[in-house]
Chain A
Amino acid sequence: MRITRDVVQEVETEHFSDPPLMVLASLADGPKHGYAMIDEIERMSGARLGPGTLYGAITRLENQGLIEALAVEERRQPYRLTAAGRRALRAKLVAMRQVALVGLRKLEAQ
């Protein structure tokens, strides 16, 4: 019993972790710079990304052409989604919603 409770607690406190997806999602409502992205991701998922993790994701996403840099504002670099990034984010979220719906339906059927 105690073991079951521990596992449930662990799952409840475990944060969803896919930094590139989190960055894309944080930019869905408009351009943001690094610190604002970290705050937004924490609000969305409860996970606070480290600066290295954030910039690892930004580097990958920019190389893939999914986000782009805007003009620098007082040393802070805002980023925004590109058209390809918007499409990629939508596709990923739709797929996740599908998985979530099917998974929940199966759980409720039992």
Chain B
Amino acid sequence: MTSRTAARLVRLYPRCWRTRYGEEFAALLEQHPFSFKTFANVLWSAGEAHMRAAISHERNQGIIVGSVWSAWMIAVIAGLILYGMVDDSPLLAAMDQSSIFAASWKVIQTGCVLAVSAILIAGLPLAWSIGLYAVRQRRRGVYLRLASPFISAFALVAWMATVLICTGGHWAASPWAVAFSRPDWPSDSVRWITGSISALVLVLGCIASAASVSQVLRDSRFPDLRIAFSGVNVQVNPLSFATALAPWAAAGIFVMLAGVVVWGCIASHLSAIAFRSLSGPLGLSGWVSWILSTIILGFAAAISAQAAWRSRALAAHR
């Protein structure tokens, strides 16, 4: 059959299969005359490959690591809602006066450090491995998807910088400041519109980062990394390594959630008036922002817990 027909038939297979076998399979097909029997055989085999890919070990690992990344992106939104509300607020003084109140904030920070460290330790070898894969396979789509967190962050910073320049350096379009008013700030409507756009860019950026990185993790192949250090050669599969760290990241997000719940309870007890009068993003009250942050973080914790559970089940099944 012609190379064009062969290429079309190869496209019936899942991408991960094509990456490994596509070229040689196309070469084999080109040596066969096209017939209904060959077409039916390839069609059936492609269906089987799709089913196998859906339950393959590597794909499951990719889904687990992708879920942890998505959970972290959701946790970032929850953390920003809370941090933006507390930063530069009267609650900081209250935390200085109460050791329990301050300790609950430290618990949130500890959970954050735990989760970030797990994501960095797992993510750096993974990013390096995916980078190698993308260079070898010349896949621009992978670069683009991996760059999506940076593109999202750049878009947010660029938008806020543009608003700052347009308002003569007075207003940075912070979603947390739209309800306040100062003489040198723009009008209510401008603050609300620009602040809402910032919030939207932030949320969409996090969703895009979660979706695109998860897709790369699910559909890519990860070459083993060989690390030579002081005469010791270690061969690591970065995806397996990252999967093993999923419970660590999930533990971090859970610690954050526990910290947020305890912190909110103490805040509403110790300084109820200050807590309720705080301004969260887009003019939400402190109380509502805390509830929103807790729900979003709970959602992130549930996703990460499921990923951690699956990673343990996968290790046991192996």
Interface residues of A (CB under 8 A from B): 33-35, 50-56, 58-59, 72, 75-77
Contact = CB atoms under 8 A, between A and B. Distances in A.
B226 interface: no
Interface in B33-76: 37-38, 41-46, 48-49, 52
B27 A55 contact: no
13 contacts: A34-B24, A35-B28, A50-B37, A50-B38, A51-B42, A52-B45, A53-B45, A54-B28, A56-B49, A59-B52, A72-B23, A75-B24, A76-B27
B34 to A, nearest CB: 11
Contacts of B52: 59
B32 interface: yes
Contacts of B27: 34, 75-77
Contacts of B29: 51
A52 B21 contact: no
A52 B43 contact: yes
Contact of B45 (A33, A35, A50, A76): A50
Interface of B: 17, 21, 23-29, 31-32, 37-38, 41-46, 48-49, 52
Nearest to B42: A52
B42 A50 contact: yes
Contacts of B44: 52
Dominant SS at the A interface?
Answer: helix
A64 to B, nearest CB: 12
A52 B45 CA distance: 5
A53 B17 contact: no
A55 B28 contact: yes
Given A56-B48, A56-B49, A59-B49, A51 B23 contact: no
A51 B24 contact: no
A53 B41 CA distance: 7
A17 to B, nearest CB: 13
B21 A56 contact: no
B25 A51 contact: yes
B45 A75 contact: no
Nearest to B29: A51
A51 B49 contact: no
A75 B41 contact: no
Contacts of B37: 50
Nearest to A38: B28
Contacts of B49: 56, 59
Given A50-B37, A59-B49, 16 more contacts: A34-B27, A35-B28, A35-B31, A50-B42, A51-B25, A52-B42, A52-B46, A53-B45, A56-B45, A58-B21, A59-B21, A59-B52, A75-B23, A76-B24, A76-B27, A77-B24
A33 B32 CA distance: 14
A52 B41 contact: yes
Nearest to B23: A75
Contacts of B26: 75
Contacts of A72: 23-24
B38 A51 contact: yes
Contacts of A58: 21
Given A35-B31, A50-B41, A50-B42, A55 B25 contact: yes
A14 to B, nearest CB: 17
A55 B31 contact: no
A76 to B, nearest CB: 6
B32 A51 contact: yes
Contact of B41 (A34, A51, A77): A51
A50 to B, nearest CB: 3
A77 B43 CA distance: 22
Contacts of B25: 34, 51, 55
A51 B32 CA distance: 8
B135 to A, nearest CB: 19
